[in-house]
Structure 1
Amino acid sequence: MKKPFYFQPLYFLFWVLFFIVSRAAFLLYHLDNTTQVTISELAGTFWYGSRLDLSFASYLSAVPFIVAFVSSLWQRLPAAAIIRWFTFVWLGIISVILAADLELYSHWGFRLDSTPLQYLNTPTEMAASAASAPLLLLTFVALALTGIFIIIYKLFFDLANYRLNRFSWITAVLSFAFIALLVLPMRGGVQQIPINQSTAYFSDKPFVNHASLNMPWNMMHSMLKYGEQSTNPYLYLPADSAENVVHKLYSSVADTSGQVVKTGKPNVLFIILESYTAKMVESLGGEKGVTPNLDKLAKEGISFTNFYASGDRSQKGMVSILSGYPVQPATSIVKVPKKSEKLPQLSHTFEQQGYNTSFYYGGELEFANLKSYFLNGGYDKLIDKYAFPEESYNSKWGAHDHVLFERVLKDLKNEKEPFFSTVYTLSSHEPFEIPTKPKFPVTDDVSKYRNSVNYTDWALGNFIAAAKKESWWQNTLVVLVADHGHPYPNKDENHAPSKFHIPFILTGGAISKHGVTIDALGSQTDIAATILSQVGLPHTEYVWSRNLLAPTKKPFAFYVFQDGFGYITPAGVVTFDNTAKKVISRDEAVSESQLQAGKAYLQYSFADFLEK
């Protein structure tokens, strides 16, 4: 007959084993990445990740340990049944989340955390994003994990053998002691600071560190911290030093600017392209034949060839483009309306100058809380999927891009000039559904993405061709830019600069120069100052924005990914992991001062975010 206090340590080890197997499943699912690491790094993912495994095993053991303690005092408690069903339910929940994490990591480049909470108010869009996932395989993984460990539980945890309902003072005392002892692995030991993600980080390879994480622990920690942004986690320099570094970056921009717009008060039409990467644009060194219309527009206007997205999410890109504001690595200012309402917006700036303003999107504006942001921008007209007939909902996201452009063209025929209008496409978002015959063979998600980009380019080309026949065209500046880049087609690492390299093109009838390429370094935050300078409007409100057509002594581009940043200068690129507090990659010519400038920029911009 087994003694009652054998149950607690064995139950604890049951969950530890579950997390070891889960980590092995993660490594197998991402075998392409796993084969690139050494044996010692592979072993390190289990060793360094063990403290987080022990921590979350402690959280899961708390309820069964309490039940075991109570059952030693109250023999009528159905302890065996309670613990059994508690275990089976949590096995199922965690297995499903772990399976989802396997595929999401392929797209996001980071382990599952509180990020999905940002999209709970738009479940349809969440489902659309997941539509391209191998659901049968992931379902099998979830069921297999659950089933295997239910069998293990039944084989080794016949709780009747542990005499949980037999009273003795020693059993009660030991049961209580086991509960108390859980505190140590929960917090990771007796050290002053409880464990966090960096506890599992030990390598300079992001994938290795990510594999070391205990995903359920990571998600729990992130959810508990969700919305909690009262302190600055990026304190690398003294506050005045960080401020001084950033001010020098912006004070180095000259007051003079090259003029490329030939009319004094042109219409301004922003076309924001969903998930457009430079790797798909031939004129930017990308694949041939995917975006012929965008390449043509680049030749007709001005193309910025060294331009980068500020972040890797739509809501982050929108704020950078339309407010000239930096992106936060692990949150987004649009999720906090009391902060985002304090930002300047181009729509409001143009409205104050007598412009009629409008925003067009074929999907739901509520997505990622963007509606509150756009309402704060004071647009005269906001058009989303509900302004389109249901028969035009050819995509799970909403109206396809050619339908969207047809509506924009129709409305602009009757729009009073001058106008400021923003159009946001959606068809090149996962699951990459298009209503036309694919141009390229469809073999995998990469080819689906390629075809979706090509479809949007076709819709854009038709729109521009029709717009050129309209009376408003000759007095219109068209701004083409992506909301963010994409890891496809090369499946870039999460921090790679090529993932953030995007098109930025000025064209339209109001442009006075054609076929110009500008290699000045810039990012989405610089669009506001650049455009306002061209139309003769002040941009003093947009303090984080630089005029890319003005000379500067300190050219740079800054971008963020999931708790990390990249900083680019003519010397090269450095990327930094804020969790591990380590450089991920660094070009040979990159100096220590460049790394410090990147840290200063993140620190100072996040301090500004907190003060909003």
Structure 2
Amino acid sequence: MKSYRSNQFFLFLYWLLLFLSGKVLFLLYHAAKTATLSASEIARIFFFGLRLDMSMAAYLCIFPFLLLFLTVIPAAFSRKLINGFVVLCTFFVVLLSTVDLHLYSIWGYKLDATPLQYLNTPTEMIASSSGAPLFLLFLLFTLQLAGGLFLYFRFFQPRFTSQKSTGKKALVSFLWLIFLVLPLRGGWQQIPVNQSDVYFSDKAFANHSAINVPWNVFYSLTKKSYDGHNPYQFFKPEEAQKTVAELYQKPKTVSPAILKTKKPNIVFIILESFTANLVGCAGGEKGVTPELDKLAQEGILFRNFYASGDRSEKGLVALLSGYPVQTTTSIIKIPRKTEKLPHLAHTLKNAGYNTSYYYGGELAFANMKSYILMAGYDKITGKADFPARDYNSKWGVHDHVLFEKVSEDLKKQKQPFFTTIFTLSSHEPYDVPMKTKFLGDDEGNKFRNSMHYTDKAVGNFISEAKQQTWWQNALVVLVADHGHTLPNYVDYDSKAKFHIPLILTGGALAKTGITDSTIASQTDLAYSLLNQLNLPNQDFKWSKDIFNPAEKPFAFYVFNDGFGFITDKGSFGYDNISKQVVQKKGEFTEKDIKTAKSYLQVSFEDYLRK
């Protein structure tokens, strides 16, 4: 019969070995990235990652160790409880690790609590994963689960035939419980272990590989509310506020007018995942978006425009409310906060505009519905408003169906109107109802085809619009909700990931054929449009006028617990976990780093106070 000490030791060892196998599988699954690491870096992934592995193992051992300490419980019953607990936890540990294998390819950071915000729209969540190699992932999940449980029942399960209490056994069991405190918090240091403790390299992939996935999910669940505490306290509040205020000093010069009409009809088209890397006119790959390229020649193109965040719900708030994006959370999750935001639709409605919102998918996805409702749109159209026969996309209806409905509705719409259209066909799984142009079943070409299809749908919509009476008094805004790592898997924290197109077209433009190289971001757009319309925009405090060349040119974006800052001289990305610059291009100074840190500090404080 094994001693109680052996029982606890083997249980703790089991979890460590399971986490070790998960890291090995992660490195093998991402073999191309692993090949860029040296043998020493791979070894350090396991060495530095051990602290989080031990911490998670300790959490998983609390319940079994407590049962082993409570010797009044019959041995057979304790064994069943412990075995059932281990089987259940092994299932979830392996499941999380398997999901992380694919999501890391898309997101570029380790799985955390982010997917939980999509649980209220399971159809959309499933659609997002339909492009994954499901058979391979299921096979890996099954093999790891079966292998782990086989080893557990063969070597690691508690082995005792009685719970006869002795003072020595009780003391040993109690000491094992006390022992868990040390790995739980990662050592005796004052601050408990966190992700930064396992970061050891200037290569993001190496650092990410060291993170324990179940621990990361558990940690993010406990930290995302922040309980009113700002985790980004870089400087004294007044110093940070002064630095940010310098970014938004209003120039004395007046912005040049781009419109020849005072109250144009506005069609605001938000293009799902439209990275500038595949938009030729914006400096990207040629041939994917010929319609956007043509529209850019007919209107105004901004070549240096950037997304503020990396998710659709974050892009909506930045575009329509001019509000900065948060790092590991999103203001759209908390309706009581979004109710306090300004909104382009609300301002235009007060100015006499008829407002409408169109989306071919579930309006509730990522809690977007509450935000849209609070904007006060006169008419909101979602998936449920289309006939079931048109549900030809896993997300809802394809973009050409969406645009056809908008086109018909606008023929009857009272002017002036403000219509927001949010596309979806270029979202995973990138299925399109047309003969594909780019051959191959790889993710890159599937994404190219989806953008090419949406581009064609946009082109058809504009061609139809030009035949309508409302076109000559129209301003059409074409902008992406966020960028993408595809087609070439750019780094998730690089400015290339956040580079998106902004194109203005329509009969209301006073000048056409203009290419503007001003550096700007999504948070600037609503303010700038309202300024052109001579409408109140003072509530859009996190914005500058992109049409005024005297404004300070910069763009700020956030990724998972990090941020990027772009100026006309250079750019950098800063990781808050490792506390170091991880991406850099061109020139930047310590003052730029201070400015970006201040921006994150002050904007997050503003978010907390909403």
Report the TM-score, using the length of structure 2 for normalisation: 0.98
1:561 aligned residue: 559
2:487 aligned residue: 489
CA contact (8 A) 2:83 2:157 kept: no
1:308 aligned residue: 306
1:315-366 C-alpha deviation (Å, 9 max, x unpaired): 0000010000100011111101111110000000001111100000000110
Percent of aligned pairs sharing the same letter? 50
Over the aligned positions, Cα root-mean-square deviation in angstroms equals 1.3
> Does 2:30 match 1:12?
no
2:21 aligned residue: 21
CA contact (8 A) 2:347 2:536 kept: no
Say which SS state the counterpart of residue 605 (structure 2) adopts. helix
| Number of matched pairs | 610
Deviation of the 1:109 alpha carbon: 0.8
Written as runs of structure 1 = structure 2, the 5 A alignment for 1:265-304 is 265-304=263-302
2:392 aligned residue: 394
> Does 2:245 match 1:241?
no
1:285-317 C-alpha deviation (Å, 9 max, x unpaired): 211111110000000000000000000000000
CA distance in structure 2 between the aligned counterparts of 1:534 and 1:598, rounded to whole angstroms: 28
1:83 aligned residue: 82
1:419-473 C-alpha deviation (Å, 9 max, x unpaired): 1110110000000011111111132111111000000011111100000000000
Written as runs of structure 1 = structure 2, the 5 A alignment for 1:3-152 is 3-70=3-70, 72-75=71-74, 77-152=76-151
Say which SS state the counterpart of residue 352 (structure 2) adopts. coil
**Which range is displaced more, 398-407 or 5-14?**
5-14
CA 1:125 to 1:35, structure 2 compared with 1: closer, same or farther past 3 Å? same
Which amino acid letter does the alignment assign opposite residue 258 of structure 1?
A: P
1:395-429 C-alpha deviation (Å, 9 max, x unpaired): 01101100000000100001010111101100000
Structure 2 residue corresponding to 1:480, chosen from 458, 478, 481: 478
CA contact (8 A) 1:363 1:399 kept: yes
Written as runs of structure 1 = structure 2, the 5 A alignment for 1:190-269 is 190-269=188-267
Deviation of the 1:4 alpha carbon: 2.7
1:532-572 C-alpha deviation (Å, 9 max, x unpaired): 12222231111111111112353101111111111000110
CA distance in structure 2 between the aligned counterparts of 1:184 and 1:33, rounded to whole angstroms: 33
Written as runs of structure 1 = structure 2, the 5 A alignment for 1:270-419 is 270-419=268-417
Deviation of the 1:482 alpha carbon: 0.3
CA distance in structure 2 between the aligned counterparts of 1:470 and 1:60, rounded to whole angstroms: 65
Deviation of the 1:159 alpha carbon: 3.4
2:578 aligned residue: 580
Written as runs of structure 1 = structure 2, the 5 A alignment for 1:460-475 is 460-475=458-473
**Which range is displaced more, 79-88 or 405-414?**
79-88
CA contact (8 A) 2:283 2:303 kept: no
Deviation of the 1:229 alpha carbon: 4.4
Deviation of the 1:255 alpha carbon: 4.2
CA distance in structure 2 between the aligned counterparts of 1:103 and 1:35, rounded to whole angstroms: 18
Which amino acid letter does the alignment assign opposite residue 108 of structure 2?
A: G
CA distance in structure 2 between the aligned counterparts of 1:152 and 1:114, rounded to whole angstroms: 29
Which amino acid letter does the alignment assign opposite residue 291 of structure 1?
A: T
**Which range is displaced more, 480-489 or 530-539?**
530-539
1:29-74 C-alpha deviation (Å, 9 max, x unpaired): 111111112222211111111111001101111111111122x333
Which amino acid letter does the alignment assign opposite residue 598 of structure 1?
A: A
1:154-209 C-alpha deviation (Å, 9 max, x unpaired): 2213633x455233221111112111211111111222211111111121211111
Which amino acid letter does the alignment assign opposite residue 126 of structure 1?
A: M
**Which range is displaced more, 460-469 or 144-153?**
144-153
CA 1:164 to 1:141, structure 2 compared with 1: closer, same or farther past 3 Å? farther
Say which SS state the counterpart of residue 159 (structure 1) adopts. coil
CA contact (8 A) 2:7 2:157 kept: no
CA distance in structure 2 between the aligned counterparts of 1:295 and 1:566, rounded to whole angstroms: 28
1:215-246 C-alpha deviation (Å, 9 max, x unpaired): 10000111122333411111111111111111
CA distance in structure 2 between the aligned counterparts of 1:270 and 1:46, rounded to whole angstroms: 49
Which amino acid letter does the alignment assign opposite residue 247 of structure 1?
A: A
CA distance in structure 2 between the aligned counterparts of 1:158 and 1:331, rounded to whole angstroms: 39
1:154 aligned residue: 153
1:247-272 C-alpha deviation (Å, 9 max, x unpaired): 11110544411111111111111011
Structure 1 residue corresponding to 2:163, chosen from 165, 168, 171: 165
CA distance in structure 1 between the aligned counterparts of 2:173 and 2:560, rounded to whole angstroms: 41
1:114-163 C-alpha deviation (Å, 9 max, x unpaired): 10111111111100000011111111111111111212112213633x45
CA distance in structure 1 between the aligned counterparts of 2:498 and 2:586, rounded to whole angstroms: 20
Say which SS state the counterpart of residue 248 (structure 2) adopts. helix
CA contact (8 A) 1:521 1:555 kept: yes
Structure 2 residue corresponding to 1:453, chosen from 431, 451, 454: 451
- Segments of 5+ residues of structure 2 without an aligned counterpart are none
Which amino acid letter does the alignment assign opposite residue 593 of structure 2?
A: L
CA distance in structure 1 between the aligned counterparts of 2:111 and 2:150, rounded to whole angstroms: 27
CA contact (8 A) 2:361 2:396 kept: yes
Structure 1 residue corresponding to 2:542, chosen from 541, 544, 554: 544
CA 1:412 to 1:74, structure 2 compared with 1: closer, same or farther past 3 Å? closer
